Amino acid sequence: MACENSIVNLACPDKTSIRVVTASYGRDDYITCPHLHIRTDDCSAANSLTIVQSQCDGRQLCNVRASNSLFGDPCVNTYKYLKVKYICEKNKGPSPPNKPSSQLNVCEGQRGNIQCPGNKYIKINGATYGRTDRTTCPDPRIKTTECSTDKPLSMIRDQCQGQQECTVTSSNKLYGDPCVNTYKYLTVNFDCTGKGNANKEKGNWKKGKKDD
């Protein structure tokens, strides 16, 4: 389980891999992840299970961020959490990859580079702009650690999906200012996939087709 804007870590022993049984991003009680902003205890993103399965099934380790940018917002103005139930299955073939999704943090006003090696291409899993902790991009201008916008997700997907290399910019001009007078950062979660080619993957995304 992970509270909103935190990360849930799934892990299995050697020679086993993750199989996600259930997953829900939303809220079904008032006790888990207590917060001032709780307007309902009956909401769940419809695509929760599909998203977590696509990121974690068959891996030995997997990290998933509980965020609106990844799952959408099933209940606006309610602080949510991600619950995942999974089992570890014995591997039938070669060991699954251990590496979870990569994460890039870019401090406000700066640029960051996403690059995939060889014949692999960028797959954007999530992107947010704001601040959810004090340790990333430390600065004296921090009024809050509870602000985030998912506006970067569609923009960065259009810009980077299916490319081998991509430069992203962290700025209010692009994404708006979710928390005035707070120094923010851009967070991008991505994988490097080896299927298809850059133009094909980017074109498929824009047509709304699901990635392989």
The single residue listed with the structure tokens 């999704």 is 101
The pLDDT value given to residue 210:
42
The pLDDT value given to residue 204:
44
The pLDDT value given to residue 94:
56
Between 100 and 17, the higher pLDDT residue: 17
| Mean pLDDT, range 103-112, rounded to an integer | 89
Q: Do residues 108 and 183 touch, judged by C-beta distance below 8 A?
A: yes
Q: Categorize the per-residue pLDDT at 195 as very low, low, confident or very high, splitting at 50, 70 and 90.
A: low
Full-model pTM: 0.52
Is residue 91's pLDDT more than 80?
A: yes
| Mean pLDDT, range 133-137, rounded to an integer | 85
The pLDDT value given to residue 12:
87
Question: CB neighbours of 73 closer than 8 A, spacing ≥ 6?
Answer: 45
Is residue 188's pLDDT more than 50?
A: yes
Mean pLDDT of the chain: 84
How does pLDDT run across 115-129, given as a tens digit for each residue? Answer: 887 788 898 988 899
Percent of the chain with pLDDT over 90: 42
Question: CB neighbours of 91 closer than 8 A, spacing ≥ 6?
Answer: 15, 16, 17
- What are the residue ranges of CATH 2.60.120.740 in the chain? 2-90, 102-193
CATH pick for 102-193 out of 2.60.120.740, 1.10.10.10, 1.10.150.20, 3.40.50.1010: 2.60.120.740
Percent of the chain with pLDDT over 70: 87
Is residue 199's pLDDT more than 80?
A: no
| Mean pLDDT, range 166-187, rounded to an integer | 93
SS (H, E, C) the chain: CEECCCEEEEECCCCEEEEEEEEEEEECCCCCCCCCCCCCCCEECCCHHHHHHHHHCCCCEEEEECCHHHHCCCCCCCCCEEEEEEEEEECCCCCCCCCCCEEEEEECCCEEEEECCCCCEEEEEEEEEEECCCCCCCCCCCCCCCEEECHHHHHHHHHHCCCCEEEEECCHHHHCCCCCCCCCEEEEEEEEECCCCHHHHHHHHHCCCCCC
The pLDDT value given to residue 192:
84
Give the separation between CA 136 and CA 134, rounded to whole angstroms.
Answer: 6
How does pLDDT run across 49-61, given as a tens digit for each residue? Answer: 988 988 888 888 8
Q: Classify the C-alpha dihedral 194-200-206-207 as positive or negative.
A: negative
In this structure, what token pair is assigned to residue 33? Answer: 């992840």
CATH homologous superfamily of 2-90 equals Rhamnose-binding lectin domain (RBL) (2.60.120.740)
Q: Categorize the per-residue pLDDT at 206 as very low, low, confident or very high, splitting at 50, 70 and 90.
A: very low
